[in-house]
Structure 1
């Protein structure tokens, strides 16, 4: 006979009961769910006594910190549960710290909240069930739920998407040894989203926190989340000290930590218990074999000057990452080099597999990728440029994405994407493509990519929600006859039906499904509203492209194409072809690409 449900009273280990049902009925434990029907609190004040079931009033005492943390009082809880087949998945899980002192709620990505009181109540119920599953004592739950709701609504109002949130913290604290945080490395990893390479030094400006040492913390005796009383030993703290230059670092100490601040623009690294400073700012021929990675310090760090030792060798060889406030290079930049700064000047060639990112970029010969607010290039040779404003002396085979493009001499096989203006002094070549594109420049391109990524996340979320919605609908349809029989029966017959356990279970699950379907419908409506607003935002950006123009000073050669790619306002690509010798500009007339006399 197929498993439907099972009530287990006075259960001390919910996981064990789920395993028993799974084994008996040949099910995977992940296919099972349970409802928490009742919580029994048992208390004893003498380890020689047996635990006694507390009355409702006595059970409230565990909410009082003085009573709960009295080591003479011991508290356990047991549960009445109803095990059943899982009908749906919740959009969160609980996670407990290794020392059983902190409980977190982990949200699925993308996090989405519907401001609905019924949903909040459902979340609270599910949290309590999961806490019972993990044997975490259910106490001060009203306060816990109220705090969770307040925090969720705060995130919702600020349009934030938390990955996790602290639900509960125990009064017990274990002893903690001193903790070293090399802040420059930590901040770099957080910003870049990647693990720092081993051979790196980190940039710092005046006043930047370089290293933080959190002193050892004496623990506090008390109960963990499971109610176990833990006596903490008193330990004499061992304080770690760090060797450093007084000229480079300033030390500030407080009762709980010691922080080392940078006194000068520099690079720093931590080797053992030695904080090393590097203030050299001029280099000849950087090689990965004898040069570390220079990371960080973009906002207020050092200004680096790097030059080649001769006209043949590169100023920077291959496989290096250099970050600074400003980088000035005389010579070529080799393969697989990444430069990041507020300002980068390269009086030489950038390799086709290297990349520069800065607010301001100047490069003599670009074969690689240059990205910035303003990019100035003498010769763009098959490389890529992404900028708000781009100025190029001569370009051949390049790809440029910008709000404004100014080119003195345009040769052949270039592809230029622009959202406001493309001004050409002379066009000498053919097979060039000009694209009016609202999302050409870095700012609008970032908005487009972020919005599309969020829409993709929400599409995946909608698919998961819809799958649950359809499963629940199927359950409702399958059991509708039983519900109709209950609904249409007279009072005596209805009472008799509801005394049958199977009918009771169907009825309660049917009501659960109806409630859950309403919540899922609210999720779907919220996703639809998000997508609608996202499309409106992108449409508004694209509509602002109406004043964009392509201009030139001389005649057009033949075989150059001009196109307007509209994604959200018209969904069509219009293309025009230049004719040899014609003296025209191109602009948008409403949503139509037209020729116009200059």
Structure 2
């Protein structure tokens, strides 16, 4: 939107002035850019020395009030802002975060300082030390130029030099805090069902603790330090609240310090804070009143666990808890419907009900899981599995319509199941299974009866390492594609002004040196010259960033990801005897986006054994090998591959080979 630039003069309420002036001119505030021209701070006490603003001893007193007035230039917004500013809730800090499309140019320093200054004035921030602010912005620009990844960080560009906000009195339940932090770190996964969500009734949860573990901290807080916040408001310390007297409780001991009380569990078990949600499951009932430091423990019954009597039991792995659960009646599930438990070692004798969830380090189930069961464990031994299992190693007698993600899986009989693993060993492969493996699949027999329609798939998705890598690759591609869209928007906005700037500079080049010197002494001409140079340099830098990102994304999608296929070269499929029909060996094509495309398929011959391996396609003489094929796999490494050959390759790099 085009309009003539205008000035907000001597305003002490810049945001209100901007809104009022834009309303008069029928301009949306979303279409303007504000630049701070100058500002002035007036103190109510005329006897204060001129340096009082920069003297913390004088400034952080309650002896005066202050007024900040600003002159702000308002002009049409050419491009969207590439940074955000956030004032802390206590108004003692300002944080700046740059978007990925932010371009760091030395020539932009002056304009960036003016723009940030105006934004801060709009927030009501007192600019008492503008030189320090400019120095921090210069430091930020230099840091991003040295290391572009610094854009992702949040920078504190202003902070109160004396005032410290009060910290409130609070009680912290540490087992819950630790569990939530751990779950957030584990939440991501390549497949949507490869992670297990927390329980629906998490407010009822009890958390595993070990004997002697610190379970709670009552922090007394403090009143803070008096002084002025960033808005120039004088803040006094909060009154000190009366400290609590620690509750005396069974299995809980405490230590009192000057600033806190620490609570320790004397036993191993599952603990919660006593409240309306946990009280029905508590070993003992308490009358808590308003006291926040009342704990309660849950004692597991000797009978099977029922959802009506069993709260979610979380964090038992870290607390090294062992659970043994048994149902003596085959008609009653050992784990009732909806039960959610976690422990380091779990042994279950009996079946699982619907919607049950188990997390463990080591798990033994002498029974059957339900088709809606979800299990996450390092090692598992199960009689019959029907639900979801995420594990490192598993030994299962019968998999029936189940799904498994594993590093290594040994199965006696599989039927209508989906298995992802590096290494899979199956004695009898019944019908309608899909086995994704990255290293080895051994099948002793595909029987004549119910041994049809199996898909045996050479796939890097059988490896959790490659799934993690592809998860990061997809996230990188998605984020950088969004950055490209913002960069395109910037280029489109700059383009109309670019031709005018080029015409102006070409006109200036036609002047003699004497004429140029005379012209540049004129303020308006000199300003147009500086703006034209900045515009052209910004356009070139933005275009270069776009080209680099496009090359990086093209390389990732068409070279890096396809080249990973060659890592299947040592994978091997061995089948003792094929007596069923329509059983196929496949190579799954690896792509950046979701894909079930097979690059090659081979029908297994009836009544024959089979040994199938992967062979690399021979490259034409003189053609260099694919640069990424032997790169080290690191799912946390940078995926910026702009230095690699970005030529797309649609020719398969590997193929199936039947050994005699």
Which category of TM-score, normalised to the shorter sequence, fits these structures?
A: 0.7 to 0.9
Aligned match of 1:237: 241
Distance 1:477 1:309 in 2: 85
Identify the range of structure 1 (446-455 vs 372-381) with the bigger mean alpha-carbon deviation. 446-455
Give the Cα–Cα distance (whole angstroms) in 1 for the partners of residues 207 and 415 of structure 2.
38
- The correspondence for 1:268, drawn from 271, 279, 293, is 271
Distance 1:151 1:479, change over 3 A: closer
In structure 2, the partner of 1:169 is 159
| Structure 1 runs not aligned, ≥5 long | none
1:537-595 deviations in Å (ceiling 9; x for gaps): 645643322100001223454321111123269x9711110111223211001111111
Q: More displaced, 171-180 or 331-340?
A: 171-180
Instruction: Give the Å deviation of 1:124.
Output: 4.8
TM-score of the aligned structures, taking structure 1 as reference length? 0.86
* 1:128-168 Cα deviation digits (max 9, x unpaired): 33212212122445555666747995999796885744443
Aligned to 1:450: 472
Root-mean-square deviation (Å): 3.5
- Taking the aligned partners of 1:319 and 1:263, their CA distance within structure 2 comes to 30
- Between the aligned partners of 1:265 and 1:526, the Cα distance in structure 2 is 56
Q: Could you tell me which residue of structure 1 aligns to residue 645 of structure 2?
A: none
2:385 alignment counterpart: 366
What does 1:298-317 align with in structure 2 at a 5 Å threshold? 298-317=317-336
Q: What is the CA distance between 1:204 and its match in structure 2?
A: 2.0
Aligned residues: 582
Partners of 1:403 and 1:395 lie apart in 2 by 17
Unaligned runs of 5+ in 2: 185-197, 275-290, 617-653
Aligned-pair distance for 1:115? 6.9
The residue matched to 1:324 in structure 2 has which SS? strand
Q: Would you say the 8 A contact 1:282–1:305 is kept in 2?
A: no
Partner of 1:294: 313
Residue 574 (structure 2) aligns with: 551
Residue aligning to 2:227: 222
Residue of structure 1 equivalent to 2:613? 587
Task: Give distance in 2, aligned partners of 1:161 and 1:500.
Answer: 35
Contact in 1 for aligned 2:484/2:546 (Cα 8 Å): yes
Change (3 A) 1:542 1:209: farther
1:91 aligns with 2:82: yes
Alignment partners' CA distance in 2, 1:155 and 1:419? 41
Contact kept? 2:494, 2:539, Cα under 8 Å: yes
1:467 aligned partner: 489
- Asked if the contact 1:216–1:238 (Cα under 8 Å) also holds between the matched residues in 2, the reply is no
- SS of the residue corresponding to residue 117 of structure 2 reads helix
CA contact (8 A) 1:2 1:25 kept: no
After TM superposition, give the deviation of residue 181 of structure 1 in Å: 1.6
Q: Which has the higher strand share?
A: 1
Match among 255, 277, 281 for residue 258 of structure 2: 255
Give the deviation of 1:98 after TM superposition. 3.0
Decide which of 278, 286, 303 is 2:297's aligned counterpart.
Answer: 278
Indicate the residue corresponding to 1:23 in structure 2: 23
Say whether the 8 Å CA contact 2:97–2:151 is kept in structure 1.
Answer: no
Given that 1:315 and 1:333 are in contact with CA atoms closer than 8 Å, whether structure 2 keeps it comes out as yes
Give how far 1:408 is off.
Answer: 0.9
SS of the residue corresponding to residue 439 of structure 1 reads helix
Deviation at 1:413, TM superposition (A): 0.6
Which residue does 2:8 correspond to in 1? Answer: 8
Residues 335, 351 of structure 2: 8 Å contact kept: yes
Q: Mark the CA change 1:115 to 1:354 in structure 2 (over 3 Å): closer, same or farther.
A: farther
TM-score, with structure 2 as normaliser: 0.79
Q: Aligned pair 1:562/2:585, yes or no?
A: yes
**How far did residue 3 of structure 1 move?**
1.5
Matches of 1:192 and 1:418, distance apart in 2: 28
Which region of structure 1 is more displaced relative to structure 2, 11-20 or 416-425? 11-20
Q: CA separation in 2, counterparts of 1:166 and 1:209?
A: 33
Which of 414, 422, 427 is the matching residue for 1:395?
414
Say whether residues 1:440 and 2:444 are aligned partners. no
**CA 1:185/1:465 → structure 2, altered by over 3 Å: closer, same or farther?**
same
Q: Distance in 2 between matches of 1:459 and 1:189?
A: 31
